[in-house]
Amino acid sequence: MSGFSNKPKILRGAFVEYGLSVPPLFVVFQFNPDQLSRSRSLSFSAPNKDISGSEDGLRKFHKTNSLLVIQKNQQVTVNEETISFDLRLDATDSLDKGETTGHFGIAPELAALEMMAHPKEEVGVGAALGSLLRSDDGYSFTKKQNPPMVLFIWGIKRVLPVNINSLSISETEFSTWLNPVRAEISVSLSVIEGKNTPYTYSKVMQEAMALLNLSNITKMANVVIPG
């Protein structure tokens, strides 16, 4: 027996469609991304005012010497969180095996991922053509149907409902049947926040992590806070 018996199990990230569908949509990451980029913007304003920089905005608080008064009166608009990362798929080691990847490369994974960005009404060639060619205004290529609901699963602490904002797929190697066997995928997501169960679960886990940070409170002794 080789290796270490206590080697930790590496969890895989994944996209999983929320709810049952035919075909079921899921993509387990073959290689976890090396980096996640998360971004959230906030806008601050005085009550019922804009933040254009005029005296009607937050500048009217400049003469206030109490931060608690400012905190109590200013308002904030919290915009949705966006997540972006790169995925890598590689089936070159399976080309000589009698597995599905040996025949089709990474085409099944790419197909499932792309279907997550398409409206669910687009099932079958006829339905897809109909949605492309018919609209109330005549011919249109705009898709306005409901997209699949996708969960982005990243470990046990983050199970986030997301919209796929964009997919950029670079197929870099192909089999003799011209099936892709290597690809780099850039993904951009926006988190669907609110009282839905997956987001609430992830928010509770985030709050639990913040409580664990209390173990670092002794480090505050080395911080100077003006009175």
What is the DSSP track for 29-45? -SB--S--EEE--EEEE
Please give the pLDDT value at position 53.
47
In this model, does residue 111 exceed pLDDT 70?
Answer: yes
In this model, does residue 61 exceed pLDDT 80?
Answer: no
Please give the pLDDT value at position 98.
58
Instruction: Give the Cα separation of 174 and 92 in Å (integer).
Output: 9
> Which one is predicted more confidently, 226 or 77?
77
Instruction: Give the Cα separation of 19 and 148 in Å (integer).
Output: 9
* pTM for the structure as a whole: 0.80
Percentages of the chain per state (helix, strand, coil), in multiples of 5: 30, 25, 45
Residue pair 95/65 in contact by the 8 Å Cβ criterion? no
In this model, does residue 56 exceed pLDDT 70?
Answer: no
Mean pLDDT of all residues in 143-163:
89
Encoding tokens for residue 91? Answer: 């089936």
In this model, does residue 153 exceed pLDDT 90?
Answer: yes
**Burial letters 181-202, b for 16+ CB under 10 A, else e:** bbbebebbbebbbeeeebbeeb
Residue pair 47/75 in contact by the 8 Å Cβ criterion? yes
Mean pLDDT of all residues in 17-23:
81
Instruction: Give the Cα separation of 222 and 59 in Å (integer).
Output: 33
Instruction: Give the Cα separation of 205 and 121 in Å (integer).
Output: 35
Among 40, 58, 41, which Cα is nearest to 49's? 58
Instruction: Give the Cα separation of 205 and 190 in Å (integer).
Output: 19
State whether residue 89 is helix, strand or coil: strand
Please give the pLDDT value at position 65.
79
With a CB cutoff of 8 Å and minimum separation 6, the contacts of 27 are: 14, 15, 109, 112, 113, 116
pLDDT band at residue 125, thresholds of 50, 70 and 90? very low
In this model, does residue 108 exceed pLDDT 70?
Answer: yes
Instruction: Give the Cα separation of 192 and 206 in Å (integer).
Output: 16
**Tens digits of per-residue pLDDT, 23-35?**
789 999 999 999 9
**Tens digits of per-residue pLDDT, 169-181?**
999 999 888 999 9
Q: Ranked by mean pLDDT, which of 122-126, 138-142, 202-206 comes out on top?
A: 202-206
Q: Ranked by mean pLDDT, which of 100-109, 125-134, 138-147, 168-177 comes out on top?
A: 168-177
Among 163, 169, 133, which Cα is nearest to 149's? 163
